[in-house]
Amino acid sequence: MQELLVGFASLNYKVLIMFAVGMILIYLAIKKDYEPMLLLPIGFGAILTNIPLSSVLVADKVKDDAVTNLAKAYPGVKDFFTNNLHYIFDASGNAFRVEPGVLQVLFNSGILTELFPVLIFIAIGAMIDFTPLFKNPIMIFFGAAAQFGIFATLIVAVALGFDLKVASAIGIIGAADGPTAIFVAARFAKEYLAPISVAAYSYMALVPIIQPPVIRLLTTKNERLIRMEYKDAKVSKTVKIVFPITVTIVAGLVAPISVPLVGLLMFGNLIRESGVLERLSNAAQNELANIVTLLLGITIGSTMSADRFLNYKTLLILAMGLVAFVFDTAGGVLFAKFLNLFLKTKINPMIGASGISAFPMSARVVQKMATKEDPTNFILMQSVSANVSGQLGSIIAGGLVLALVPMLLK
């Protein structure tokens, strides 16, 4: 009987708080429709991992006398066994070989290896249509300007005491791109992977709430009323095919470390645009995207253990995620206003805010704001162009951060 009650006996207030956190994420996913594909699995994974003595992370522990004796004779080897060979040590110094549970297996094979984020990039690439960008290539610069939030947040994080690698992973929330955030966090800040991922996906869902006040604060009514002419140019299939190949080579030469991100995004896009791989394109957009998203979400949720998640640094990270999105929006809008100082034909500065990678939400938000000011003002196509370029900008920014930070820390 006692064995049946051991789970209840192990409950504490931290576990109950994490249950509540998981349920809040599930509520936001279902009731508010905030990125349900990620927040629901993350929320449920958080509940699973915090059930006391649950075997989702640790299926079994087997005492290893040989390693116990070795660690007692040479205490320095403990870290090696813990970090590399899945051993844990109890208070008495006994070594236990851990048999990983199902979510730990998924974490080891999908997150530590960065497999899940790059597979998602194939799916995203297969879903992206760069045609609006080809028709309005000048909008590509807003995809660069709106990455400002990444670097501004990096500085804020360093000022708050995080080391450069962790601060970079926190700043990447500003990429507004879940897979990029997970990719960088898995390399630079494994211990903060959960709050960084939760922040990235939550704030992406909150773009319709975050961006409008920032845009209104930084623009005048006259600026929001600016109309932009749309010239519908024709784009050949050859351009759509050659573009992903060229971008992969160029981006790879500039930042080789970004090749898994850029290369697989462009691979997905090439599958789509080739016109001869409809089955693979459909599979990438549907089956691959759905399966990997499902596994990715629950695996990230499994990292939200109470001891790791419930500390003030997690709250700081969640707050800085908001800072990142605000700075992104401000960066894009202010860049557009700066350009307007030199341009005869003015750009509606709201379009700068669409340069973040939250596609297509940000473009819709900007069009909605334009329509509110003037129901006959249509800037959707320009916003979509900027939004699509944000996808490129965020991956390039992620690649550059991955390349620069280790160089500076050598």
Interface ranges with another protein (CB under 8 A): 133-134, 137-138, 140-141, 143-144, 147-148, 150-152, 154-155, 158-159, 163-164, 167-168, 233-236, 238-239, 242-243, 246-247, 250-251, 254-255, 389, 392-393, 396-397, 400-401, 404-405, 408-409
Helices 164-171/312-340 angle, 10° precision: 60
Please state the closest distance from residue 138 (CB atom) to another protein, in A: 7
Please state the closest distance from residue 377 (CB atom) to another protein, in A: 26
CA atoms within 13 A on the CB side of 151: 15
Please state the closest distance from residue 406 (CB atom) to another protein, in A: 11
Please state the closest distance from residue 49 (CB atom) to another protein, in A: 32
Q: Which is nearer to another protein, 318 or 403 (CB)?
A: 403
Please state the closest distance from residue 181 (CB atom) to another protein, in A: 15
The Cα 383–Cα 350 span in angstroms is: 8
Please state the closest distance from residue 410 (CB atom) to another protein, in A: 11
Q: Which is nearer to another protein, 171 or 195 (CB)?
A: 171
The Cα 410–Cα 36 span in angstroms is: 41
Q: Give residues with Cβ within 8 angstroms of 333, minimum separation 6.
A: 214, 215, 218, 219, 349, 350, 352, 353
Q: Which is nearer to another protein, 11 or 233 (CB)?
A: 233
Q: Give residues with Cβ within 8 angstroms of 141, minimum separation 6.
A: 335, 339, 389
Q: Which is nearer to another protein, 295 or 336 (CB)?
A: 336
Amino acid (1-letter code) at residue 98: V
Please state the closest distance from residue 340 (CB atom) to another protein, in A: 18
Q: Which is nearer to another protein, 304 or 392 (CB)?
A: 392
Among residues 63, 51, 58, 64, which one has the least CA distance to residue 100?
Answer: 58
Integer CA distances (angstroms), 402 to 185, 201, 369, in order: 10, 20, 35
Please state the closest distance from residue 157 (CB atom) to another protein, in A: 8
Q: Which is nearer to another protein, 224 or 240 (CB)?
A: 240
DSSP labels for 153-178?
Answer: HHHHHHHTT--HHHHHHHHGGGG--H
The Cα 23–Cα 29 span in angstroms is: 10
The Cα 167–Cα 347 span in angstroms is: 34
CA atoms within 13 A on the CB side of 216: 11
Q: How far apart are the first and last CA of the chain?
A: 57
Q: Which is nearer to another protein, 28 or 247 (CB)?
A: 247
Q: Which is nearer to another protein, 222 or 236 (CB)?
A: 236
